[in-house]
Amino acid sequence: MAFLAMGLFLVLLMGILPTRSEIGLLRSNRWSLFFQNHCGIAIGMITLVAVIFRIPYSYSDIGPVSASHILSVSTILENAHGVWLPRLLNFGLTFGIAMTFFLLIRKKDFLLGLFFFGVIIFFFSSISDQSRIAYLGELAAIFLTALIMLTLRIKKFWVAAVLWGIGSYFRIEVGFLLPLLLIYQHRRFGLRSAIRFVLVGLLFLIASLLIFWPAGVSPGYMQYANYHGAPERSSKMIAANFVMLIGNETIQSKNFWTNMSLGGMVFLFLLGSSYACYYLWHRKTVGGLIVAAFISLFSWFLFTPGLQARELLAPVVLLWLIAGYYRDKPSYYWAVFLSLSLLINLQVGMGNALEPFQNSSYSRAIYILAIVNLGIFLCAFVRFQMQLGEQNRSVKFFLKQYMTELRTALIRKIQITPFQLRKKDLLLVGLIALAYGGVVFYRLGSWATPQTGVSLNSPSQTVEVRFNKPVDIQTLVIYDAEETGQFAVAQWVNGKWTPSTVVATDGYYVLKRQRFFASGVERIQLIPRPRTGRINEIGFLDGNDRLIQPQLVMETDGKLVPAAPHPLFDEQAIMAERPTFLNSTYFDEIYHGRTAYEFIKGYPVYETTHPPLGKDWLASGIFMFGMTPFGMRFSHALTGIFLMVALFFLGRQVLASRFAAYTTMLIGCLDFMPFVESRYASIDTTSVFFMTLLWIFTFQYLRRQEATDASQIPYATLVLVFCSVALAVATKWTGVYAFAGASSCFILLKIRQWFGSKHSNGEFQHFWYFQKNLVPTIVSGLLLFLLIVPAIYFVSYIPFLKCSQVAGIFSWDSVREVLASQKWMYQYHSGLTATHPFASSWWGWPFNFKPLWLYSGGYSGPGMKEIIVSLGNPLVWLPGLCSLVLIIYHLLEQRRFSVMHYCFICLLAVYLPWVLVKRVTFIYHYYPVLPLLYVSTAFAVEPLWKMNRSGRRAVLIMAGMAAGAWLLFYPAISGLEISVDYIEKFLRWFPKDWVF
């Protein structure tokens, strides 16, 4: 509760940093003048409120207590349990830090100093009291650091040196300030002053060593080494830093990024500290020293293994000080976000201490916080680098120009019409689609798998196989086709039948092998138990995996016939192949691909948890190419290519520029998920394709209404919108989310038109708009919806109804069957309680956590592996997420309507419903969000491209990095056989969640 209260407090702080004009108004206030003249009263009042705020949990081991504890002094004393002393010291140090802040800031602005005094004293009230030890070490380090800054500000150099000498003995963080203090003294007062400062500091450091070490108080660096280096602590090292992000919290990993080990981390920390020294060399003021200390300590936190979450306290507090000292709003916002990150990190740490990383949500939360912390560090780096004067004028100009272009684009994009398509555009889009299609269809699946076979339905249908001489068999190969069952294998050796093994036939068009050790075999019997289902082929391999050809087969009537023409042995060449995804079904193909085949054959339908249109489309590929892996996957792979073309037209409709259209398409081509999801027989890419069509026609309608007279209603576009809705919903019910987003955009458009409907004389004409646009649009929309959507949805069920043996496709029995199917689907999804080892939560999808392992080959060579993993390109998804944050920030800042408002409504409509879904979810449920994420990325990138050569170079570098990541991960997303060492070194960027 304390963490929640503090989180709300920090959120309320957003945007309330007083501006110069607000402070000017406050200064004219009578109470303000009173407090400035009696600052002790003001500080005392804030401190008293902070003390009262701390009472409910300051004297309890477990946090907040009831209100009666506040009123009863005796109860408080009874529950103290000896905890009051460290908590008292805690509050004293908190007050000292807040007071130091006030003294540092008040000379610049008294009221601002008072404001930050309150922020700090309340900030620590919730954080530090959650521990029995009360974080005294961290608070002492922060207090000494702030006190050193204050003494340097008032030019008490000897005091600062003494504080550094004593403090660096107890806390290693204080010791890190030595290079900064040396540079500050040298740049401000000369080399002699710096040398004297160091000598005095070292003298008191040695004195502390001689006094405290014999007394049993070890130095800070030894405490760190003993505490953080212990193996039993490795499972609880939950600081959300770069080390944790790459999975190197124990400094022992096979990952390429973590092979840097301790030396690499030390290098990164020294790099950050060196930049802090560089910054201070050019910015030789106390403010520059505060910034440099923040950079150095934040580098320590980010790049040091084995840290605790609470060691982020020092960077957070220094960032608060920077915000107040410079009255810098970006630093203020970063401090708020970093404080929230710290609060969540502490909360996760408390859960992790009880069950170290048993709950995968802990590690995912840490990953997200680590990304946020690293992002704040990079933003602060850019911000502070821009403050270094003339040498960064070009950087300032570049960023300012980019922000200006971005803000202009937010307004202009809704006013311009999409570019005219040329033959060159169609040719180029076709070439890109053709190239992408070549990559998608390469190694998509086998064209030829065993097609003939038999079903052995009773033990009387036993098959006997004879060889021309005694053979040694080590492997039995089966191409398991339809239905389920099992059969026993008996071998004829030395004149008698000997039972050998039992083989389960529970796969669906799967080539599989089973070990079968038999020496000197002359005959083999395959005995159904009691039935086998359909088997398309059986083969026998020797110890070198060479195919053994049978000579004769005894049929059920006792006749011996040649083995070659028999349905079980007529396609033997295929049986020598190694079982892979190329010749077998995998993942959801056993549901969707199977059902598509059942639609063609008229068999009872197996998969009924989704509407049938996606499986109708899969059936077209099977109809053309047969029931082979290629035939099952053909239609869906083709849809993946169509999706890339649709992304081009989506970028054209939303952003209206040629660059944005091509960029949207190319981003989609470089992402992993569309590629992976298009290459197996499923329905997700088909669903996303129809959603993309829906958004294309929705934005076409919106643009025409925004740009033309409101009385002109594009009915043809409305027809296309509702056709897309029907197709999307008939493929997967998640299409309803996309329709909800399109409907919300429609409502927003009508509200804008209502308030914008004016006559030529400038007066509002609401009745004219009501009569000419609103009523005709609503009426026609409802009629079109009722005519188109149910009709297309029902027609998609025709193959299903044929398989269900319903009398009359367009009869009432068919309608009842379709309605019963809808009821069953709703009951299935609402009542689903199944779990899955690769399930993931909605909040982790944008950060690419918990990829879905679709396929893992079981017959790879030693040290090799075949995998197919569904995930996103991290160099596409993270820039996309940053683009969303950047655009949202500017939309809130400008408060003017933009086409991106429509885009975000559609995006949230397909994402936010998953917050309420309680059933098991996977990362591919984020797939429908991706087209709009690509559009947002293209929107953020376009101003860079249009600015100058440097901007274009930046865009090309980002594109090159994304393409490089695609090539790096290609084996893992295509099923190519690679070494396990390659996977461990280069692909597992998040070792705890990226299980390949």
What tokens does 64 get?
């907040």
CB 335 within 8 A of CB 341: no
CB 225 within 8 A of CB 307: no
More confident residue, 985 or 718: 718
Q: What are phi and psi of 651, to 5 degrees?
A: -60, -35
CB 7 within 8 A of CB 131: no
Question: Of 372, 128, 361, 354, nearest to 236 (Cα)?
Answer: 354
The pLDDT value recorded for residue 29 is: 47
Report the DSSP pairing between strands 534-541 and 552-554: unpaired
CB 976 within 8 A of CB 344: no
Dihedral of the CA atoms 708, 710, 715, 719 (nearest 10)? 90
The stretch 210-219 carries a mean pLDDT of 74
Look at residue 236 and tell me whether its pLDDT is greater than 90.
no
The pLDDT value recorded for residue 57 is: 45
The stretch 117-131 carries a mean pLDDT of 63
The pLDDT value recorded for residue 131 is: 41
The pLDDT value recorded for residue 32 is: 45
CA-CA distance, 506 to 481, in Å (whole number)?
9
The pLDDT value recorded for residue 7 is: 47
Question: Of 643, 687, 612, 678, nearest to 445 (Cα)?
Answer: 678
Residues facing residue 482 across a β-bridge = 534
Which one-letter amino acid corresponds to residue 305?
P
The stretch 91-116 carries a mean pLDDT of 79
Count CA within 13 A, CB hemisphere, residue 183. Answer: 23
CB 371 within 8 A of CB 245: yes
For 287-311, write each residue's pLDDT tens digit.
Answer: 888 888 899 888 888 888 777 787 8
Structure confidence at residue 67 as a pLDDT band (50, 70, 90): very low
More confident residue, 657 or 771: 657
**pTM as predicted:** 0.81
The pLDDT value recorded for residue 918 is: 82
Ordered by start, the domain boundaries in the chain are: 231-389, 435-442+591-810+840-987, 454-574
Q: Which of 95-104, 833-842, 945-954 has the highest mean pLDDT?
A: 945-954
Structure confidence at residue 353 as a pLDDT band (50, 70, 90): low
- Rounded to the nearest 5 degrees, what angle is found at the Cα of 541, between the Cα atoms of 536 and 546? 115
Q: Is 516 helix (H, G, I), strand (E, B) or coil?
A: strand
CA-CA distance, 868 to 987, in Å (whole number)?
12
The pLDDT value recorded for residue 63 is: 37
Q: What are phi and psi of 503, to 5 degrees?
A: -115, 125
Look at residue 624 and tell me whether its pLDDT is greater than 60.
yes
The stretch 437-454 carries a mean pLDDT of 91
Residue with tokens 């504890």: 69
Task: Return the percent helix, strand and coil in the chain, to nearest 5.
Answer: 65, 10, 25
DSSP-assigned letters across all residues of 777-831? HHHHHHHHHHHHHHHHHHHTTHHHHHHTT-S-TTSHHHHHHHHHHHHHHHHHHHT
CA-CA distance, 381 to 6, in Å (whole number)?
27
Residues facing residue 853 across a β-bridge = 869
Residue with tokens 């710096």: 194
Q: Which CATH superfamily is domain 454-574 in?
A: Galactose-binding domain-like (2.60.120.260)
CB 449 within 8 A of CB 479: yes
Which one-letter amino acid corresponds to residue 183?
I
The stretch 940-954 carries a mean pLDDT of 88
The pLDDT value recorded for residue 222 is: 64
More confident residue, 268 or 36: 268
The pLDDT value recorded for residue 351 is: 62
The pLDDT value recorded for residue 146 is: 81
The stretch 212-235 carries a mean pLDDT of 60
What tokens does 834 get?
């199944």
CA-CA distance, 729 to 725, in Å (whole number)?
6
- Contacts for 448 with CB less than 8 Å, ≥ 6 apart: 574, 628
CA-CA distance, 681 to 400, in Å (whole number)?
48
CA-CA distance, 111 to 109, in Å (whole number)?
6
Question: Of 638, 646, 698, 637, nearest to 429 (Cα)?
Answer: 646
Q: What are phi and psi of 474, to 5 degrees?
A: -120, -20
Of the chain, the percentage scoring pLDDT greater than 70 comes to 81
Reply yes or no: is the peptide bond before residue 530 cis, omega within 30 of 0.
Answer: yes
CA-CA distance, 229 to 269, in Å (whole number)?
18
Of the chain, the percentage scoring pLDDT greater than 90 comes to 27
CA-CA distance, 150 to 475, in Å (whole number)?
80
Residue with tokens 């521990």: 131
What tokens does 910 get?
């397909």
Look at residue 22 and tell me whether its pLDDT is greater than 50.
no
The pLDDT value recorded for residue 21 is: 47
What tokens does 771 get?
């009569």
CB 644 within 8 A of CB 665: yes
- Under the phi-then-psi rule, with left for phi > 0, alpha for psi from -120 to 50, and beta for the rest, what region is 405? alpha
Look at residue 234 and tell me whether its pLDDT is greater than 70.
no
Signed CA dihedral, 755, 760, 765, 767: sign only: negative
More confident residue, 895 or 816: 816
CA 352 to chain CA centroid, Å, is: 21
The pLDDT value recorded for residue 6 is: 47
Q: Which helix (H) or strand (E) holds 292?
A: helix 286-303
Q: Which of 336-345, 526-535, 867-876, 893-902 has the highest mean pLDDT?
A: 867-876
The pLDDT value recorded for residue 790 is: 93
Look at residue 30 and tell me whether its pLDDT is greater than 60.
no
- CB 465: neighbour CB atoms within 10 A? 23
Look at residue 356 and tell me whether its pLDDT is greater than 60.
no
CA-CA distance, 182 to 293, in Å (whole number)?
12
- CB 434: neighbour CB atoms within 10 A? 10
The pLDDT value recorded for residue 45 is: 59
Look at residue 720 and tell me whether its pLDDT is greater than 90.
yes
- Under the phi-then-psi rule, with left for phi > 0, alpha for psi from -120 to 50, and beta for the rest, what region is 186? alpha
More confident residue, 413 or 582: 582
Structure confidence at residue 64 as a pLDDT band (50, 70, 90): very low
Structure confidence at residue 174 as a pLDDT band (50, 70, 90): confident
Look at residue 557 and tell me whether its pLDDT is greater than 50.
yes
DSSP-assigned letters across all residues of 422-481? -HHHHHHHHHHHHHHHHHHHTT---S------EE--SGGG-EEEEEEEEEEEEEEEEEEE
Residues facing residue 473 across a β-bridge = 518
The pLDDT value recorded for residue 708 is: 66
CA-CA distance, 123 to 105, in Å (whole number)?
18
Q: What single DSSP character describes residue 162?
A: H
Look at residue 943 and tell me whether its pLDDT is greater than 60.
yes
Q: Average pLDDT of the chain?
A: 80
